[in-house]
Structure 1
Amino acid sequence: MRRRHHFHIDHAGHSVTATVETGRHVEVEIMIDGKETGHGTTQGDRPVSVQVQLPTDPPIPVCVRTTPGPGVPRCVLEIPDADPHVMSPRHY
């Protein structure tokens, strides 16, 4: 059974949202400031990392690491030279 989960965090004045669709194949979509900027897939409960950039001057490369399971998925925003930031679940 497929299910959608949403996660969000604000960082450096930008909105970062992850949509994780679980099931046999896991699909992860990353949006920054409302625009789709990255996409990744995996199978089962394997983690997936999606590399994107925050549109700052200069752009900041970041990674959204998603762990689909077991259980409820989790998303973390990884920024170079900083501790990872846990993204909050959003219920739509």
Structure 2
Amino acid sequence: MRRRHHFHIDYLGHSVSVTVQTGHTPVVEVLVDGKETGHATTRDDRPVTVEVELPTDPPTPLSVRATPGPGVPRCLLLPVDGGAPQVMAPRPY
């Protein structure tokens, strides 16, 4: 059965949202400031990393690591500059 799980974080003044659709082939979509900037699929419960950029001058690269399972999905924001990973909060909608 497929389910959608939503995650969000505000980072450097920008909104980063992730939707993880679970199932046989999980799908991960990343939105920055409401625009889709990254998309990936994975098999079973394998973690997947999606590379995106924040619309700054110059663009700020970052990664989102989504783990579809087992259990409840989880997401981390991974700054490329070596900063500490940040847990993205689940959203109940």
Identify the TM-score tier after normalising by the shorter chain: over 0.9
Alpha-carbon separation, structure 2, partners of 1:29 and 1:17: 8
Distance in 2 between the 1:59 and 1:13 partners? Answer: 13
Identity %: 65
Unpaired runs of at least 5, structure 1 = none
Amino acid at match of 2:56: T
TM-score where L is the length of structure 1: 0.98
CA distance in 2, matches of 1:46, 1:32: 23
1:8 aligned residue: 8
TM-score by length of 2: 0.97
Displacement over 3 Å in runs of 4+: none
Matching of residues 3-82 of structure 1 within 5 Å: 3-79=3-79, 80-82=81-83
CA distance in 2, matches of 1:87, 1:68: 14
Q: Which runs of 5+ in 2 are unaligned?
A: none
Q: What do the CA deviations read for 1:37-57 (whole angstroms, capped 9, x no partner)?
A: 000000101000000001111
> Which is richer in strand?
1
Q: Deviations over 1:59-89 (max 9, x none)?
A: 1110000011100000000002200000000
